[in-house]
């Protein structure tokens, strides 16, 4: 157990390396030492024991070594495919699968697990006031897509028949069972990467948006440790992600999403706005061309980047 990896990357190294400068160096800023310097991709975008779990009291880091390792290998291939000019629907689907996992593995998503579990339990109690199962599913699924896969009609009838106190105890058992079995895709981390169904819900939302790559010949895009930028209360409203120093992905709401991935030339203000958003959302690290980092440091980080 002593040889298990305990420092876990939440933004994979292959992504960070896409921001290596024209000079062949990877320039990075870290808010804690407030310096821009050449850094190693291995030493950034990581947290100690982020994905370690403790089955029967024994440390288990298999998420980092197995499932996330596979996701990163497939993600690297998807990046290479898209950045090499494959803008097909198939390439888009591969990248969407990686982005869905990236959203789920982010430290802020993991930190939201306990409150989200409590929110689900309360929502389940409220939904039990529905007059029938169809209304129950409609009410609960509006807040937690896929809930009907967990709470079947027989469960609904049984829990309703227990009364309030009995229902609370039954719901507590449901939550405990979800945690033990690998989880429920509507709750962050309960199925994180072991069960693809959770990622599939996110992926399908992403594939329901219009995709566009914006290119910057001056290699001016930077990457913050938030990676994927979106409204956490409304993922379906859109998403942005700098993929490399020359390429950024923009997903926008669409009533009829187009096939494949569109491309366009990024305007200077678009590059600057995305960099400012990446810097504003980052918790510790920012990588990119040295001159861009110096500009962002002067504009955003007078007292250090946000830590939450």
R_g over Cα of the chain: 21
CB 263 within 8 Å of CB 230:
no
pTM of the model as a whole:
0.68
User: E strands of 154-296, at which residues?
Assistant: 210-215, 223-224, 229-230, 238-244, 247-252, 262-265, 285-287
Quick one: which of 219, 110, 121, 224 has its CA closest to 178? Answer: 121
CA angle 44, 69, 85 (to 5 degrees): 80
Pairing, β 247-252 against β 238-244 = antiparallel
Tens-binned pLDDT, residue by residue, of the chain (308 aa): 444 444 445 788 899 999 998 889 999 998 878 889 998 878 777 653 444 444 343 333 334 344 677 888 999 999 999 999 999 999 999 999 999 888 877 666 654 455 566 667 777 777 778 888 888 888 887 777 766 766 788 888 887 777 766 766 766 666 665 555 444 444 444 444 455 666 788 899 999 999 999 999 999 999 998 899 988 778 888 999 999 999 999 999 999 999 999 999 999 999 999 999 999 888 888 999 999 999 888 876 544 455 44
Alpha-carbon distances of 10 from 28, 65, 127, 154, 241, rounded to whole Å:
16, 13, 35, 40, 15
Contact at 8 Å (CB) between 223 and 16?
yes
Return phi, psi of residue 98, to 5°.
Answer: -65, -45
Residue range 126-147, pLDDT digits in tens: 777 888 888 888 888 777 776 6
Asked if 128 and 243 count as a contact pair (C-beta separation under 8 A), the reply is no
3-state DSSP assignment of residue 252: strand
* DSSP letter (8 states) at residue 288: S
Characterize 131-170 residue by residue with b for buried, 16 or more Cβ atoms within 10 angstroms of its Cβ, and e for exposed.
Answer: eebeebbebbbeebebbbebbeeeebeebbeeeeeebeeb
């Amino acid at each position: 157990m002593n040889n298990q990896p305990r420092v876990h990357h939440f933004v994979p190294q292959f992504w960070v390396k896409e921001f290596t400068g024209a000079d062949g160096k990877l320039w990075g800023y870290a808010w804690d030492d407030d310096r821009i310097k050449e850094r190693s991709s291995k030493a950034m975008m990581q947290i100690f024991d982020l994905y370690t779990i403790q089955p029967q009291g024994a440390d288990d880091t298999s998420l980092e070594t197995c499932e996330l390792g596979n996701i990163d290998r497939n993600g690297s291939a998807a990046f290479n495919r898209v950045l090499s000019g494959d803008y097909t629907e198939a390439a888009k689907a591969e990248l969407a699968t990686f982005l869905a996992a990236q959203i789920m593995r982010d430290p802020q998503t993991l930190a939201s697990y306990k409150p989200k579990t409590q929110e689900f339990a309360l929502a389940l109690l409220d939904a039990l006031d529905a007059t029938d199962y169809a209304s129950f599913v409609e009410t609960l699924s509006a807040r937690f897509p896929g809930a009907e896969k967990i709470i079947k009609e027989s469960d609904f009838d049984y829990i309703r028949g227990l009364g309030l106190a009995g229902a609370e105890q039954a719901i507590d058992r449901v939550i405990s069972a979800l945690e033990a079995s690998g989880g429920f895709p509507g709750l962050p981390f309960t199925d994180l990467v072991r069960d693809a169904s959770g990622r599939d819900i996110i992926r399908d939302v992403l594939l329901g948006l219009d995709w566009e790559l914006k290119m910057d010949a001056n290699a001016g895009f930077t990457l913050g440790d938030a990676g994927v930028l979106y409204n956490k209360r409304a993922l379906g409203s859109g998403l942005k992600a700098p993929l490399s120093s020359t390429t950024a992905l923009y997903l926008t709401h669409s009533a009829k999403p187009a096939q494949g991935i569109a491309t366009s030339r990024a305007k200077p203000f678009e590059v600057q706005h995305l960099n400012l958003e990446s810097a504003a959302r980052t918790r510790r690290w920012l990588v990119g061309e040295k001159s861009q980092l110096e500009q962002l440091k002067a504009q955003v980080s007078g007292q250090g980047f946000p830590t939450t």
